[in-house]
Every structure is written in structure tokens, then in C-alpha cells.
Structure 1
């Protein structure tokens, strides 16, 4: 069985608990969409690859440092239709 290439899909979202911070999520869907990886780009050019497994209500929680002294937890809700290609 041939290995399928990953499908790349970008989702731009705001997070209510990341005030004044806009996050762009680059979603990499794998075969059968069992898992995904997210690269998060914030106002401070922070980027990180975060593994994610589908959970109840499609909730994605992200922890990142927006500067040297602050750690912010962001919660994103993904709609079911956004998870399908």
C-alpha cells in the first residue's frame, strides 16, 4: 500500500483567552485524520509544532511564551467541518 502525502490546511483563528494575540494555525492532517500537528505563529514570531489528538469538542490547547517573562495558555475550538478535507 502506497504511503499518502500529508494534506496541508491552514486555519486562521482567534482565541478568546489570548487577548490581543492573533494566532495562525497551520494544520497538517495525516491519513485517517487520527492526529494532527499545529504550527503556531504569534505576534512575536514564536512558532512551535504541537501534536494533537482529536478530543471531545475538538478543543486544542496551546501553551506558549509571548515574551521572556510571560506564559499564555490559548484554547481553540475547531469546528467539525474544518477537520474534513
Structure 2
């Protein structure tokens, strides 16, 4: 029992830490394959940016942010840049 006027400290947990993933290398994949790979881990992504790229198959991933090998949490957003004819 705690005396009525005693100070009490309370520690509140925010829950378990968010799992961390390693950002996969997506450059060269088509956009759908890259999105499927991200969705398999429950990772969110933004609408891809497009870059005019003559001679490259349309919807090919040209860049990604964060870069490959970077730590990634499920709450992070991934930005892809894809080719457009």
C-alpha cells in the first residue's frame, strides 16, 4: 500500500518498437513489381515521380528514396522515380 500523500512515478510504454527493414534495391524493376515488393512488407509508398527517359522501358524504376540498404520502418514513406517515354 502507498501512503495517501506519497509521490508515485508511472512509466507508460508506447508499445513495442516498430520493426526495421533494410530497403531493397528496386532500380531496374518495373513499377508494379517494386510496389508489390514494398506492399509485401507493409511499407507505404507515394505516387511515383516520372522522368522522361527515351529508350528505357516505360514504368521502370530509375531511383528510390530511401536508397537501397537504408534502414526502413513501416511508418516510413518510399518515393520511387519511374521512366516515362
Larger gyration radius, structure 1 or structure 2: 2
Bin for the TM-score computed over the shorter chain = under 0.3
Superposition TM-score, scaled by structure 1 size: 0.27
If each structure's strand is expressed as a fraction of its own residues, which one has the higher value? 1
